[in-house]
Amino acid sequence: MLRIDKLMLAAALSCAALAGGARADGTVEVLHWWTSGGEAKAVGELKQAFEAEGGKWIDSPIAGGGGDAAMTALRARVMAGNPPTAVQLKGPGIQEWAEQGALNDVQDVAEVGNWDSVLPPALAKIMKYEGKYVAAPVNIHRVDWIWASPEALKKAGVEAMPTTWEEFNAAADKLQDAGLIALAHGGQPWQDATLFETVVLGIGGADFYRKALVELDDAALRSDTMIASFDQLRKLRSYVDPNFSGRDWNLATGMVMRGEAGFQIMGDWAKGEFLAAGKVPGEDFLCASTPGNGFILNSDSFTFFKVSGEDNLKGQKVLARLIMSPEFQKVFNLAKGSIPARTDVPLDDFDICAKRSHEDLLAAIENDTLVPSMAHEMAVPRSVRGEFLDLVTQFFNSDMSSQDATTRLADAVQRAM
Ligand code: BGC
């Protein structure tokens, strides 16, 4: 009898320990770089959804557009044996960390949620390692956008959004003649590379883009088309204001918002900034794809690092499930400026730019002109991307000729491969 009592007491105590120690819906420490107005609003939606389920959210934001600072912080955390539970990570970076054995999979969550049937196959492939999901995608961002101030365009007598680079240059000349800044830009390597890749797509087309920036084909990298792309990048350099160096991308968006500048070339996270400031697309600001045919894809996702403890493991699974829920994909993307990664979320409540993005995405898939972003870590390993960023930034900040830039870029990529 006494023995049974003792056993019952021990069982009761371990239940109490579980209830007190491990939270019902786990804990996550989330490392991300979403610190601008629109970005913070979007990540706030995820935090709120996680907390509404009883989970504990520890926020680890690392400021710095494009995520380079966040990736440096991540490496330091992993080296120290203390990885965060969930990390904003994408493209080949997911595979690189998975190959090192650093990631937990969330395959069981993916199977219950039927992720295979609701994600575009190209995106699902990026999220998997050895057939199992190790990441959950939150969105589809498009990189090749021009954002414009209708007020500035009007002042300069520019009647329509440019559809060729010649038209872009002519419009930019008019803006400058009217005493306005033609192109709002922040001189940071990832922003320079963002301009560069949109120009490569526009000048060379999707097949050329793929050869040069994804397959790293030496002949493409040394071609006249690449020289022509650098020529157009040089032209863009002449349209930025003298204070561009080091400026954050969202401050450049602010210049368009206030009508000080005519254009910004930036992914649709810029739209998140306009929306967070209460601006209406088509009225307060305009969107159009950069000249050329195609769609440069950038998708944000979260990976789940190898952490221990029931509480953390539970947190990872709850977060993965929430990220892929249709409700979350809707509210998050309404704030972020992107469109849902899931293909089954209705876009009725989304704005004209998002609808355009979706239509162009489908057309690009159909015409095989969908290409992954080099600047936003969707296309090549980090080491190769680093070479692109270094060279493009050097070009942007010097009087290097297009011919020299082309040769130096091809040599650098070859060394990095
Ligand atoms: C990310 C976006 C982010 C942007 C600026 C991109 O690489 O995909 O989510 O808003 O960088 O930080």
CA distance 233 to 401: 11
- Ligand 1 and 292: CB distance under 6 A: no
Q: Taking the CA of residue 91 as centre, how many other CA atoms within 13 Å lie in the half-sphere pointing to its CB?
A: 22
Nearest partner of 35 among 66, 2, 76, judged by Cα:
66
Last residue of a domain, which of 337, 355, 373?
Answer: 355
57: how many CB neighbours lie within 10 A of its CB? 19
Q: Report CA(12)–ligand 1 centroid distance (Å).
A: 49
Cα–Cα dist 247/186, whole Å: 4
Query: Which atom of ligand 1 is closest in space to residue 269's alpha carbon?
Result: 10
- In this structure, the answer to whether residues 315 and 214 fall within a common structural domain is no
Contacts of 190 (CB under 8 A, 6+ apart): 65, 66, 68, 375, 376, 389
Q: Are residues 329 and 409 in the same domain?
A: no
Q: How far apart are CA 126 and CA 175, in angstroms?
A: 41
What is the CA(106)–ligand 1 centre distance, in A? 24
Q: What is the Cα–Cα distance from 237 to 214, expressed in whole angstroms?
A: 24
Distance from CA of residue 286 to its chain's centroid? 21
Same domain, 371 and 222: yes
Residue nearest atom 8 in ligand 1 by C-alpha distance: 300
Do 202 and 71 share a structural domain?
no
Instruction: Judge contact between 303 and 134, C-beta under 8 A.
Output: yes
Residues 225 and 365 in one domain: yes
- Quote the ligand 1 centre to 249 CA distance (angstroms): 10
Burial state string for 308-336 with b = 16 or more CB within 10 A and e = fewer than 16: eeebbbbbbbbbbbbbbeeebbbbbbbbb
Note down the domain range covering 345: 6-140+299-355
Residue 379 belongs to a domain: yes
| Residue of 46, 141, 374 to test ligand 1 pocket, by largest number of atoms within 8 Å of CB | 141
Same-domain status, 168 and 244: yes
Q: What one-character-per-residue DSSP string does 285-316 give?
A: BEEEEPSSS-EEEE--EEEEB---SHHHHHHH
Q: Is the CB of 113 under 6 A from ligand 1?
A: no
Ligand 1 centroid – CA 268 distance (Å): 9
Find out whether the beta carbon of 269 lies less than 6 Å from any atom of ligand 1.
Answer: yes
Task: Looking at the structure, tell me whether residues 104 and 153 fall in a common domain.
Answer: no
Per-residue pLDDT of the chain (417 residues; tens, 9 = 90+): 344 444 443 444 334 333 334 446 899 999 999 999 999 999 999 999 999 999 999 999 999 999 999 999 999 999 999 999 999 999 999 999 999 999 999 999 999 999 999 999 999 999 999 999 999 999 999 999 999 999 999 999 999 999 999 999 999 999 999 999 999 999 999 999 999 999 999 999 999 999 999 999 999 999 999 999 999 999 999 999 999 999 999 999 999 999 999 999 999 999 999 999 999 999 999 999 999 999 999 999 999 999 989 999 999 999 999 999 999 999 999 999 999 999 999 999 999 999 999 999 999 999 999 999 999 999 999 999 999 999 999 999 999 999 999 999 999 999 998
Same domain, 258 and 398: yes
Q: Among residues 355, 379, 397, which one ends one of the domains?
A: 355
Do 181 and 80 belong to one domain? no
* 142 touches ligand 1 (CB under 6 Å): no
CATH number of the structural domain spanning residue 208: 3.40.190.10
Q: Is residue 292 part of a domain?
A: yes
Residue 187 lies in a domain: yes
User: Are 242 and 280 in a shared domain?
Assistant: yes
> What separation in Å is there between the alpha carbon of 36 and the centre of ligand 1?
10
Verify that 405 and 278 share a domain, yes or no. Answer: yes
